[in-house]
Amino acid sequence: METYNNVVLEQLPKHLKRYVVAQQYERYTALDQALWRYVMRQNYSFLKDVAYYPYIPGLKKAGLSIAHIPDLQQMNDSLKLIGWGAVTVDGFIPPAAFMEFQAHRVLVIAADIRQLEHIEYTPAPDIIHESSGHAPIIGEPDYAVYLQYFGEIGTKALSSRKDFELYEAIRHLSILKEHAGTTEAELAEAENKLKTVQDNMGEPSEMALLSRLHWWTVEYGLIGSLDDPKIYGAGLLSSIGESASCMQKSVPKLPYDLNTVAYTYDITKPQPQLFVTPDFEHLMDVLNQFADTMAFRLGGKQSLEKAIDCQAVCTAVYSSGLQVSGIFKAANADQSISYIQTTGPTALAFSGEQLAGHGISYHREGFGSPVGYLTGSNKDLADFSDEELSAYGISKGKRCSLHYSSGIVVEGVVLEVVRQAGKVVLISFEDCEVYRNGRKEIYFKPEWGTYDMAVGTEIISVFAGAADKDAYESIGEEIAEPSAVLYTQNEDSKLLSLHALIGALRSGSFDTEHWTDIFDQLSAEITDNWLALIELYEIAWANHAYDLAESAQGKLKTIITIRPSLKKLIDDGLRVAKEESLNNH
């Protein structure tokens, strides 16, 4: 993985590095560059008045330019100065991974760029949204702290099976929308699939609720007063359509608070309302209020039941600090937890580091252990001294019988007592039987091998994923190159060639004959030529060739008559080209 001489990227854990792909800057075509330039110039023209932060200084702090698609090396050269980094990925990545990158102060940037027909907005991640939207505001220290903290909270959020279905449905639809060869039938099928999933989500999970807070702040947030808010959300900052329409009074502006979690969102449509925070400190307050309701802070049986429902790898933390990572299943019907049980590969860890010999290859068929106090003791077994352990018969090589207040009994020969940070976290037995109610409930039999018993009176925390992800997932650093291709690779080859000629004209000395030769090849009957004509118009204006600019404008007017939906894009392009030329002279 390329780290761009940025220590922030060098310190990324292996399980995140596998999502990173090479940017391959040479893949961007002249049309891609023109598309970037158009969006960024429009953004600056409008956002300089409505964005929360100074737009141009923010771009420079992030290593971005209005003139060309960002290069990841340049971005990292700038971002590392403020303790952040940036990597490119292949479109959508799982929400949990996205959050974890954020927690490590790394911006995740989709390598692809949207199609010309989606120049105003795309539901799929692309380099315009991820870089020009998220990166410039990182220079605001309070916001950068919020973004990182949100990632830390989000990494622990429990998801549901429905969340995964929704993620896959959105991902599939977004890819289809950005693929030039998608048919109407394929699009309709994907939209129906998404609607079916959305209509049958059931009770929202922690991740679903947290994603709403993320959406209404990081993506679509406003800051200031309800009467005069400013934009800071990346989704708005990177959408030349919605950044303007959202500021209209017809879009309600509501105060941002914890009640915002009740508002769902649709990634494919303009937002029906937006939320305004008075300052970034308020965002932290609301996030902490929500975090106080999450399983990783609450623990207990209700939190464990959430983990059981999600049927994905989660971690339960004993009061001793021992972390059990695996897929949990119901083990007892008591009002409080008396026994936990996982199924399939399980790992034990302490402080996020896997215990030696207790990885998924050893606990490949699952792990089970009691929770609670020993009968007649009001002290956590984790806090027992060696003398107290001996008093209960817990000595290496000796047989003992441990009776829990829940009625669970553990009988076997002690093999090992494991301590971490001064606490007993694990006791291993051989020739061991674990049962309850006079052996009517059997949890472990001697013939099953060694019994490793976790120690602790309660489950104090439950969170998503493994405690030691690198060890649990047993993965390498890299994955294959992106499966998706740059969207514009499916565009018309002649149009790409003409944009390449325009790019050469822009970077060299102005030549009227060269300009005219390109112009003559751009038929107004082909409406996709509008951006190329805007580019020629701008070049002509900048070089005071007003007669040529008027010719380009004439063809653009013809395009508008053929395709009226392009009127705003064309009018805005002409306006900004004139403004920029006048400002430069």
Q: Could you tell me which residue, 396 or 167, shows the higher pLDDT?
A: 396
The helix, strand and coil proportions of the chain, stated in percent and rounded to the nearest 5, come to 50, 20, 35
Cα separations (Å) of 200 from 7, 170, 203?
44, 14, 9
DSSP 190-230: HHHHHHHHHHT--S--HHHHHHHHHIIIIIT-EEE-SSSEE
Q: Taking the alpha carbons of 62, 65, 66, 71 in that order, is the dihedral positive or negative?
A: negative
Distance CA 223, CA 456 (A): 45
CB neighbour class for 222 (10 Å; exposed up to 12, middle 13-18, buried from 19)? buried
Mean pLDDT throughout 38-65? 83
Cβ atoms of 458 and 300 within 8 Å: the answer is yes
Q: How many helices (H) and strands (E) does the chain have?
A: 23, 18
Is 154 in a helix, a strand, or coil?
helix
| The CATH homologous superfamily of the domain defined by 7-160+205-287 | Aromatic amino acid hydroxylase (1.10.800.10)
Q: Report which listed range, 17-26, 35-44, 317-326, is most confident.
A: 317-326
Question: What are the extents of the domains in the chain?
Answer: 7-160+205-287, 161-204, 296-473, 492-584
For 178-231, the pLDDT digits (tens) are 676 778 888 888 888 888 887 787 788 999 899 999 999 999 999 999 999 999
* Confidence at 478, pLDDT banded by 50, 70, 90: very low
d(CA 324, CA 354): 10
pLDDT for 210? 95
Q: Which residues are annotated as a binding site?
A: 129, 134, 219
Average pLDDT over residues 261-267: 88
> What is the per-residue pLDDT across 498-551, written as a single tens digit (0 to 9) for each?
999 999 999 888 999 999 999 999 999 999 999 999 999 999 999 999 999 999
| Reported pTM | 0.87
Report whether 135 contacts 38 (CB < 8 A). Answer: no
Find how far residue 301's CA is from the centre of its chain.
28
C-alpha 493: how far from its chain's center?
34
Question: DSSP of 445-512, one letter per residue?
Answer: -GGG--EEEE--SSEEEEEES-SSHHHHHT--S--PSPSS--GGGGS-HHHHHHHHHHHHHHHS---H
Whether pLDDT at 482 is above 80: no
Tell me which H or E stretch contains 235: helix 234-237
| Cβ neighbours for 224, distance < 8 A, ≥ 6 positions apart | 52, 230, 276, 278
For residue 1, name the pLDDT band (cuts at 50, 70, 90): confident
Please enumerate, by residue number, every residue annotated as part of a binding site for Fe cation.
129, 134, 219
Span 89-118, pLDDT tens digits: 987 788 889 999 999 999 999 888 888 888
CB atoms within 10 A of CB 205: 21
For residue range 310-364, what is the model confidence (pLDDT) as tens digits? 889 999 999 999 999 999 998 777 778 999 999 999 999 999 999 999 999 999 9
Alpha helices in 51-71 (DSSP H): 55-61
Element (H, E) at 559: helix 546-562
Radius of gyration of the chain (CA): 29
Mean pLDDT of the chain: 90
- What is the rounded average pLDDT of the residues 433-459? 95
Q: What is the DSSP letter of 321?
A: S
| Per-residue confidence band for 484, with pLDDT thresholds at 50, 70 and 90 | very low
**What's residue 54's pLDDT?**
67
What is the structure's pLDDT at 583? Answer: 65
| pLDDT of 126 over the 50 cut | yes
List, in order, residues 6 or more apart from 158 with CB less than 8 Å away. Answer: 205, 206, 207, 294, 295, 306, 307, 310, 314, 462, 463, 464
**Residue whose tokens read 């975090």:** 291
Please work out, in degrees rounded to the nearest 5, the angle formed at the alpha carbon of residue 207 by the alpha carbons of 171 and 306: 125
